[in-house]
Structure 1
Amino acid sequence: MKQRYTTVVWSIIYLLLLLSLLTPFSMITAFLLVVPVALLFTALNNKSFILHIAPVWLAIALIHPVYLVMAAFFLIPGIVMGSLYRKRAPAMKVLRFGMSALLAELLILLVVATAFFQLNLNEYVDEIVKITTDPLREMGVSGGFTGGMTWTAEQTEALSRMTMLMVPFAMIVSSFLITVVTHAIARPALNRMDIAVPSLKPAREWMLPRSLIWYYLLVVILDFANQDSGNRFIQVLVVNATPLLQMCFMIQALGFFFFLAHTRKWHPVIPVLTAIPIVLFPPMIIIGILDLVFPLRQAFSKNNR
């Protein structure tokens, strides 16, 4: 009875989240829309899942058909993650498949919009960047923004080019964040419903593949070699792969500090605080790189003994 009440509540939450997509809160609620689908698909059998979802879809269809498109988009990754939760798959596998489903959908959506709806991504990005930077130009002209320097049209154009180059990075990071947020909320919610779902390994045990070092070295070489040739494909590869690999090294560095705190019996808040300098000062990724290249953890474990 308690589980039935809880699933009805999550159906209502699902409806409210869908309705929020046409409001100013959509940038936040979009990261939560996979949660109710994954949770309901895990907790219910297929027939009950449809009975919970159908009224929500009917309600949003009566309000505006565009809600159905948005609901269908977030439905697929929710079902993918929910089906893996049903099988008690490892958390990392759930995240990997959920992220892949979202990324594949984004790519398909981009292809369909370009081929059938004449979406010009270049023009769209230019317009967004222009809307964003126009206030900067006005502030610069009227108030000496940034020490008397004005935001020029050339800077807007350069920002637009860079934004266009980093569209793949934005798609990957968005898919990753939505999946992580979904797991972070769905897992404890399912546990409260007496549905055991595997958790991620403790942060102190995070260890990424050592091959990332070779990928990073390859990207650095490609960046150096492409400075004269100006190959656009290599440029897109370097611009997107560099921040992605740096994010991986940040995660590795954070895992190292959690390991160090656990080994040295530090206060639990200390490794959390280390996330601030790791994010704010990019050179800190060298700690993550060293942790992958050298057996630092084994060395600290031996010293602790």
Structure 2
Amino acid sequence: MRNLKGMVEGSIITGISLIFLLLSMYTPIGIMQFFMPIPFIIYGYRHGLKQGIWVILINIALSFFIGQFFGLVFVFFAGTIGIVMGVLYKGDHALPAIIGGVITTLVNFIIGLTISSQLFGIDLVEQFKTLMRSSLETVKNMGSVLGSQEQINQTFEMYHRFIDMIDLILPVLLINSAIIIVLFNHFFAVKIMKRLDTPIPQLPPFREWRFPRSIVYYYILTMIALSIKSVYEINTLKIIVSNLYPILQMLLLAQGLSFLFFLAHMKGFKKGIPIIVSIVAILNPFLSQILIILGMVDLGFHLRNKLKV
């Protein structure tokens, strides 16, 4: 009976997945590809890894007839992320599913880059850089409506420097992309599974997020390494520091924002106030630096514990 239920739900999941694939590849709403892991999350949670693998294989076979090679890639990518997250949601906490999803996404990225380079001779990173440069030139040609020529040149010079650094900071770009994809699917999976009366573990409220105190020390050491030219010129250290620094900055920024939400909750402010303040702060480089410092103080001196007393 259980196998029959699994087969029926597998057929439904397959149908939904293929509809998402069709919408992603042949309609203007290509954003549907970001929702593709969700059906697999549901199935993985309900029926486990073994049956989940069979559903992925069936979906891959059918997707080839719809989208050929790219359809196969989309389904493999979504299926593996979804099944891994779904199986790991069976614990008491959401964090293992989040970490498992991020690792699976990164492995998929690496597999995709390797296959495209070794089998097809396509350098996806270089193609992405070329596309970005082409887009910048198109926007630059509209410069008359963007401001003075000097300002335009400075802005575009900064963007071109960033594009040239993509090879160097590729790891951090992939990690950030993986985190965004997984958190996006986690958010919607929580909502959908709640509606299906099979709730999955949620992350703790953002105001309760606390990262390890050691992040502060790593951040300070990374800043020192960046300021020492002789250290930064060593290629291996340059790659490590260039990728570690923005990751640590992002974590400390999140810690500062978490403290902001904690403070707003403690003072009884409406939920919309810290959200608006956070958006403004993230968009302003100066305010972002203040939040990073706030995150360092919170971690280093257990600031919120002192406020609770």
Give the letter aligned to residue 77 of structure 2.
F
Output the amino acid matched with 1:210.
R
Give me the whole-angstrom Cα distance separating, in 2, the residues matched to 1:127 and 1:31: 24
**Shift of the alpha carbon at 1:242?**
2.1
C-alpha deviation, 1:46, in angstroms: 6.5
Q: Distance in 2 between matches of 1:205 and 1:159?
A: 34
**Alpha-carbon contact 1:21-1:29 (below 8 Å) kept:** yes
In 2: Cα distance, 1:84 partner to 1:154 partner: 45
In structure 2, the partner of 1:178 is 181
Counterpart of 1:288 in structure 2 is: 295
- Residue matched to 1:147: 148
Q: Residue 10 of structure 1: CA displacement?
A: 5.1
Q: Which fold has the larger relative contact order, with Cα–Cα distance below 8 Å and residues 6 or more apart in sequence?
A: 1
| Corresponding residue number in structure 2 for 1:299 | 306
Question: Which residue of 1 is the match for residue 76 of structure 2?
Answer: 72
Question: Following the alignment from structure 1 to structure 2, what is the Cα–Cα distance between the partners of residues 50 and 230?
Answer: 46
* CA contact 1:205–1:259 (8 Å) conserved in 2: yes
Paired residue for 1:130? 133
Indicate if the aligned counterparts of 2:81 and 2:105 stay in contact, CA closer than 8 A: yes
What is the root-mean-square deviation of aligned Cα atoms in Å? Answer: 3.0
Contact 1:95-1:183 within 8 A present in 2 as well: yes
Structure-2 residue corresponding to 1:164: 167
Q: 1:226 to 1:105 in 2, by over 3 A?
A: farther
Q: How far apart, in 2, do the equivalents of 1:33 and 1:84 lie?
A: 18
Q: CA shift at 1:187, angstroms?
A: 1.8
CA contact (8 A) 2:52 2:83 kept: no
Q: AA paired with 1:114?
A: S
Deviation at 1:235, TM superposition (A): 2.8
Give secondary structure in 1 for the equivalent of 2:264: helix
Tell me how far apart the structure 1 counterparts of residues 19 and 137 of structure 2 sit (CA, whole Å): 34
In 1, are the aligned partners of 2:172 and 2:247 still within 8 Å (CA)?
yes
Shift in Å, 1:35: 1.3
CA displacement at 1:216 relative to structure 2: 0.6
1:209 CA drift (Å): 0.5
User: 1:273 — aligned with what?
Assistant: 276
Q: How many angstroms does 1:47 deviate by?
A: 7.9
Match of 2:3 in 1: none
Q: TM-score, normalised by structure 2?
A: 0.83
SS in 2 for 1:165: coil
1:81 and 2:104 correspond: no
> What stretches of structure 2 of length at least 5 have no aligned partner?
1-5
Structure 1: which amino acid aligns with 2:75? Answer: A
Instruction: Please tell me the residue identity of whatever aligns with 2:247.
Output: L
Q: How does 1:183-198 map to 2 (within 5 A)?
A: 183-198=186-201
1:29, CA displacement in angstroms? 2.8
**Equivalent position amino acid for 1:146 in 2:** G
Give me the whole-angstrom Cα distance separating, in 1, the residues matched to 2:52 and 2:232.
55
Return the letter of the residue paired with 1:217.
Answer: I
Counterpart CA distance in 2 for 1:122 and 1:55 is 31
Query: CA 1:19–1:227 in structure 2 vs 1: closer, same or farther (change >3 Å)?
Result: farther
The runs of 5 or more residues in structure 1 that have no matched partner are none
Task: Quote the residue 2:116 is aligned against.
Answer: 113
Report how many aligned residue pairs link the two structures.
297
Q: Which moved more, 1:75-84 or 1:230-239?
A: 230-239
Deviation at 1:190, TM superposition (A): 1.5
Q: 1:185 to 1:6 in 2, by over 3 A?
A: farther
Q: Matches of 2:146 and 2:264 in 1, distance apart?
A: 44
State the shift of 1:136 in Å. 2.9
Deviates more, 1:4-13 or 1:16-25: 4-13
For residues 277-301 of structure 1, give each alpha carbon's deviation from its aligned partner in whole angstroms, at most 9, with x where no partner exists.
Answer: 3312321221111111112112211
Q: 1:78 to 1:226 in 2, by over 3 A?
A: farther
Structure 1 vs Structure 2: percent identity of aligned residues? Answer: 28
Shift of 1:58: 5.0
CA distance in 2, matches of 1:151, 1:63: 45
